[in-house]
């Protein structure tokens, strides 16, 4: 058995674009906010650069003269636009619930490590009834840096008391795969927004798939 095939002892999920396929709604909200303030917006370039970052980390360089109160207000507006649009459409990515059931049966703990602010995290966790299924939820609102920094993943592993090398991270963006690499964790790319070519060159990547249902044959996810 190679190190990449070793069964995971813990699973760490990004949320946006991974647990739920919602990134188009985020893009629309960012586009609306930036357009309202006279800033250009290229959806594809914006996603590749910012996915996994906290809203304040995204907004500060876009509004260099703004104080923290202004940054917070802009972030509030963006998330309000997003929740209004996505709220009626919340649904898990195909195969997620089956994977979670197998992890539960094998006693493999799971965590969420997301850049989402509390309101967005609550929307998904509560609408899908998943909050109690996760050992912990980690986010920048708790004082951690966003991705590609490894902080969120390292804290999730610490709270689950599982070594980083025994965790598998599920992500939809290069920033997230890079954060997992820096944390010393294996990663799987969910191709909800990008193609496999966008994840080329990551030595911690052990698989990529359009959804969780397509990961059934991955050795590292054969718990037991």
Could you write out the DSSP letters of every residue in 88-109?
Answer: GG--BPTTHHHHHHHHHHHT--
CA dihedral (116, 118, 120, 125) in degrees, to 10, reads 100
**Where is 24: in which H helix or E strand?**
helix 23-36
Asked whether the beta carbons of 172 and 189 are under 8 A apart, the reply is: yes
Q: Can you give the pLDDT at residue 77? A: 96
CA-angle at 19, arms to 84 and 110, nearest 5°? 130
pLDDT digits (tens, 9 = 90+) for 107-131: 999 999 999 999 999 999 999 999 9
Burial class of residue 1 in the structure, from the number of CB atoms within 10 Å of its CB (0-12 exposed, 13-18 middle, 19+ buried): exposed
Can you list the alpha helix ranges (DSSP code H) found in 68-150? 68-86, 96-106, 118-128
Query: What does the alpha-carbon distance between residue 30 and residue 23 come to, in Å, rounded to a whole number?
Result: 10
Is the pLDDT assigned to residue 2 strictly greater than 80?
no
Q: Domain 23-88 has what CATH class? A: mainly alpha
Q: Can you give the pLDDT at residue 3? A: 74
Is the pLDDT assigned to residue 148 strictly greater than 60?
yes
Is the pLDDT assigned to residue 179 strictly greater than 60?
yes
Annotated domain spans of the chain = 3-22+91-221, 23-88
Considering the domain 3-22+91-221 in this protein, what is its CATH number? 3.40.50.1000
Q: Supply the mean pLDDT for the chain.
A: 95
Is the pLDDT assigned to residue 54 strictly greater than 90?
no
Mean pLDDT of 159-171: 98
| Catalytic residue numbers, as ranges | 14
pLDDT digits (tens, 9 = 90+) for 73-97: 999 999 999 999 999 999 999 999 9
SS3 113: strand
Confidence of residue 47 (pLDDT cuts 50, 70, 90): confident
Confidence of residue 217 (pLDDT cuts 50, 70, 90): confident
Q: Can you give the pLDDT at residue 1? A: 53
Asked whether the beta carbons of 80 and 204 are under 8 A apart, the reply is: no
Q: Can you give the pLDDT at residue 40? A: 94
Q: Can you give the pLDDT at residue 52? A: 78
Asked whether the beta carbons of 100 and 106 are under 8 A apart, the reply is: no
Question: CB count, 10 Å around CB of 142?
Answer: 11
Residue 111 forms beta bridges with which residues?
12, 136
Q: Can you give the pLDDT at residue 80? A: 96
Confidence of residue 224 (pLDDT cuts 50, 70, 90): low
SS3 39: coil
pTM above 0.95, yes or no: no
């Amino acid at each position: 058995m190679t190190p990449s095939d070793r069964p995971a002892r813990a699973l760490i999920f990004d949320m946006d674009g991974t647990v739920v396929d919602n990134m188009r709604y985020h893009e629309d909200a960012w586009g609306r906010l930036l357009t309202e303030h006279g800033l250009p917006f290229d959806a594809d370039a914006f996603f590749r650069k910012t996915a996994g970052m906290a809203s304040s980390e995204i907004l500060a360089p876009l509004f260099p003269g703004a104080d923290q109160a202004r940054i917070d207000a802009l972030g509030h507006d963006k998330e309000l636009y997003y929740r209004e649009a996505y709220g009626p459409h919340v649904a898990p990515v195909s195969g997620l619930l089956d994977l979670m059931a197998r992890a539960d049966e094998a006693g493999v703990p799971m965590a969420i490590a997301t850049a989402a602010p509390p309101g967005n995290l609550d929307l998904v966790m509560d609408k899908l009834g998943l909050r109690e299924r996760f050992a912990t939820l980690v986010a920048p609102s708790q004082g951690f840096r966003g991705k590609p920094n490894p902080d969120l993943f390292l804290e999730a592993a610490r709270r689950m008391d599982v070594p980083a090398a025994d965790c598998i991270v599920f992500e939809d963006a290069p920033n997230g795969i890079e954060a997992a690499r820096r944390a010393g964790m294996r990663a799987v790319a969910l191709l909800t927004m990008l193609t496999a070519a966008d994840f080329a060159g990551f030595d911690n990547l052990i698989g990529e798939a359009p959804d969780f249902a397509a990961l059934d044959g991955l050795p590292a996810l054969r718990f037991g």
